[in-house]
Amino acid sequence: MYMRLRPLAATNLLFNSGAKSSSKQLFRGANSSRRLYVTRAPENNKRGEIDISSYPPERIRNFSIIAHIDHGKSTLADRLLEHTGVITKSGKNKQVLDKLKVERERGITVKAQSASMFYEHKGDQYLMNLIDTPGHVDFSYEVSRSLAACQGTILLVDAAQGIQAQTVANFYLAFGEGLEVIPMLNKVDLPTAEPERAAQQIESAFEIESDKILHISAKTGLGVDQVLPAVIEKTPPPLGSVDKPFKALLFDTWYDTYVGVVCLMAIKDGSIKRGDRIVSSHSGTKYEVAEVGIMHPEQTPTTLLQVGQVGYIVCNMKSIAEAHVGDTFYKDRHPVEPLPGFVPAKSMVFAGVFPIDAGEFDSLNESIQKLTLNDSSVSVHKETSAALGQGWRLGFLGTLHMDVFRQRLEEEYDANVLITSPTVPYQIKFTDGTIKFIQTPADFPDTHTLQDFVESTMEPYVSATILFPEKYLGCMLELCTTHRGEIHNHTYIDETRVMLKCELPMAEIVTDFYDKLKSKSQGFASFDYEESGYKTSDLVKMEVLLNGEAVDALAAVMHKSMVVTAGRDIAKRLKEVIRRQLFDIIIQTSANGKIVARETVKQLRKNVTAKCYGGDITRKMKLLNRQKEGKKRMKKIGKVELPQEAFLSIMTKSQS
């Protein structure tokens, strides 16, 4: 959860050195020989609030950092926060804005975070609002939302890797939003860095002159002192007027255990302070503002927020469900034209989530509700499975998003869950013209017996961009075609790197496409995609029968051409993961009413304590406990015990 520093602690962070009366703090940049004057945050009043009213739009810069995954966004954010004295300079500052445990463990950014800094440039004081965004394609929704609060963005490119698929996707996202793109080459300290080559790629892909690109190392600090001056000079100040009625865009929200719902807003016109009454354009609900402030980098109250600034507002919102990302807020009795808002995040991948122990349903329900409060891009519907009992069908933006959610559920809420194989949403068009969305494979009708009623079955497609060195062109083309892809074109971004555009069924990406892409290109290919609508496809439901009984939670939907290979493969993989039990277990896969494959798990009579003759009770207990531990993630289907892996092993995989 978000740690909340009380105002005093937050400002102590800032004022840990120097005389209080001085408005400037002397700061020496990491590798810089120049002396830099970095402005300290304004003093706080008796209520612990700081006054930022002296920052009009022309002295505000709202910018983000966008890049391909791992190109160094969060590390650059650390250096900038140190450089401006927001955090004390220390070798220990590593991805300070990656606040979630899962982000720290995985070394990836999942949630965009903002931080305000005070900075002096050419004698003027500036308020700089930085938004650090995630790099992975599953979280691109976070990126597009964050860009709505910015006027400029740093496009960071790893000088050793050059431009990658998410560099291209994020550039076009920012360009499409009309943002000023400031290119920078990072990691120039690496012996493998080839800055000239990477700069050429940027020039040919984005038509940005290579001599306008800053060369930096976010790790060593080299060149970092030039970053904020470049942002100030190139990014236009926010538009708007302090004299117009208050108008603000809500672009992020989270739940804070101390103050409740926190809304991150970009103030487009006017100003707001504690005690004001604001109204949501979305619902018409009125709220009283309890606190306004900036992220510095934790919540730090201010006397007001005004035009051009990006900050948080705490009001008497009871539930995060009331905070609609993309909503426009105005002051009571001063309505304004709402801003366009955002297209809601669309779930691309669905999976069933069930408690291992049915008795934990209520506590798991509470945990899922709490976790979705801080991640509104997860869609939640109750689901009942004949095999697994009561649970939920959750919708995610991609499989990494799903995995991060599962990890947070287990680590932050101590939940013990079983997750079924991920699936994409299918559509069925019936002859009477009705269209049905299918999020659970078990609900997919038997197209064989219903063929007179079903006009067509459809699956979602994505437009994909793949970047790789030329020598992998042959195997990348083959990979796309074996995954039912349609190649559109390929172009060269320099003499040796290729950009391939193709269309792929989303279902292929959910399974093993990405792993194969990485292994076939020895890790050199990168990949990005966006949804491109539904296409008619010959789909069938594959059922799994255990000792003659169909298990709904193991059903899968797949293209007709894959039925035989996938049917055999699934039966084999299930045989590998289902433990031998006291009776034979017959595994069958079936599609269109025909059995495709059959495997048998032979019976076994096992007494785990058999070897413990002689009565060593502690050893006996240890073995029994270990067996109990192994059972934790088991689910009993009829008489057959299935481990978690069984549910994930039914993912269909292409034979390439």
Ligand X SMILES: Nc1nc2c(ncn2[C@@H]2O[C@H](COP(=O)(O)OP(=O)(O)OP(=O)(O)O)[C@@H](O)[C@H]2O)c(=O)[nH]1
User: Rule CB under 6 A: is residue 654 a binding residue for ligand X?
Assistant: no
Q: Which region, judged by CB under 6 A, interacts with ligand X, from 70-78, 373-381, 493-501, 556-564?
A: 70-78
Residue 13: what are its φ and ψ, rounded to 5°? -55, -35
Burial 56-85 (b: 16+ CB within 10 A, else e): bbebbbbbbbbbbbbbbbbbbbbbbbbbbb
User: Rule CB under 6 A: is residue 80 a binding residue for ligand X?
Assistant: no
Q: Which region, judged by CB under 6 A, interacts with ligand X, from 107-115, 225-233, 317-325, 632-640?
A: 107-115
Burial 351-376 (b: 16+ CB within 10 A, else e): bbbbbbeeeeeeebbebbeebbbbbb
The interface with ligand X within residues 134-153 (CB under 6 A) comprises: 134-135
Q: At closest approach, how far in Å is the CB of 371 from ligand X?
A: 20
| Residue 136, annotated as binding a ligand | yes
Closest-CA residue to 237 (of 62, 54, 53, 52): 62
Q: Which of 11, 109, 306, 328 binds ligand X (CB under 6 A)?
A: 109
| Residue 69, annotated as binding a ligand | yes
| Residue 188, annotated as binding a ligand | yes
Q: In what order do the strands lie in the sheet with 379-385?
A: 379-385, 389-396, 349-355, 417-419
Q: Which residues pair with 489 in a beta bridge?
A: 501
Q: What angle do CA 498, 499, 505 make, to 5 degrees?
A: 130
User: Rule CB under 6 A: is residue 403 a binding residue for ligand X?
Assistant: no
User: Rule CB under 6 A: is residue 309 a binding residue for ligand X?
Assistant: no
Tell me how many residues contact ligand X (CB under 6 A). Answer: 21
User: Rule CB under 6 A: is residue 108 a binding residue for ligand X?
Assistant: yes
Q: At closest approach, how far in Å is the CB of 194 from ligand X?
A: 14
Q: Which of 25, 74, 129, 253 binds ligand X (CB under 6 A)?
A: 74
Q: Which is nearer to ligand X, 114 or 447 (CB)?
A: 114
Q: At closest approach, how far in Å is the CB of 120 from ligand X?
A: 25
User: Rule CB under 6 A: is residue 189 a binding residue for ligand X?
Assistant: yes
Q: Name residue, tokens 């120039």.
A: 188
Tokens of 463: 């437009």
Query: What's the CA gap between 453 and 475, in Å, rounded?
Result: 41
User: Rule CB under 6 A: is residue 73 a binding residue for ligand X?
Assistant: yes
Q: Which is nearer to ligand X, 62 or 166 (CB)?
A: 166
Q: Which amino acid is present at 507?
A: A
Task: Calculate helix-pair angle for 361-373, 399-413, nearest 10 degrees.
Answer: 120
Residue 490: what are its φ and ψ, rounded to 5°? -140, 140
User: Rule CB under 6 A: is residue 198 a binding residue for ligand X?
Assistant: no
| Residue 31, annotated as binding a ligand | no
Q: Which of 50, 69, 400, 500 binds ligand X (CB under 6 A)?
A: 69
First-to-last alpha carbon distance for the chain, in angstroms, is: 42
User: Rule CB under 6 A: is residue 218 a binding residue for ligand X?
Assistant: yes
Q: Name residue, tokens 């450089």.
A: 83
Q: Name residue, tokens 């002096």.
A: 120
Q: Which is nearer to ligand X, 134 or 485 (CB)?
A: 134
Q: Which of 107, 474, 533, 630 binds ligand X (CB under 6 A)?
A: 107
DSSP 357-369: SGGGHHHHHHHHH
User: Rule CB under 6 A: is residue 485 a binding residue for ligand X?
Assistant: no
Q: At closest approach, how far in Å is the CB of 102 from ligand X?
A: 11
Q: Which region, judged by CB under 6 A, interacts with ligand X, from 73-81, 206-214, 268-276, 582-590?
A: 73-81
Q: Which of 40, 61, 71, 541 binds ligand X (CB under 6 A)?
A: 71
Using CB atoms within 10 A of its CB, is residue 423 exposed (0-12), middle (13-18) or buried (19+)?
buried
| Residue 134, annotated as binding a ligand | yes
| Residue 70, annotated as binding a ligand | yes
The interface with ligand X within residues 9-68 (CB under 6 A) comprises: 67
Q: What angle do CA 53, 56, 61 make, to 5 degrees?
A: 115
The interface with ligand X within residues 500-559 (CB under 6 A) comprises: none
Query: What's the CA gap between 181 and 179, in Å, rounded?
Result: 6
Q: Which residues are annotated as a binding site for GTP?
A: 67-74, 132-136, 186-189
Binding site residues, ligand X, CB under 6 A: 67, 69-75, 95, 107-109, 134-135, 186-187, 189-190, 217-219
Q: Which residues are annotated as a binding site?
A: 67-74, 132-136, 186-189
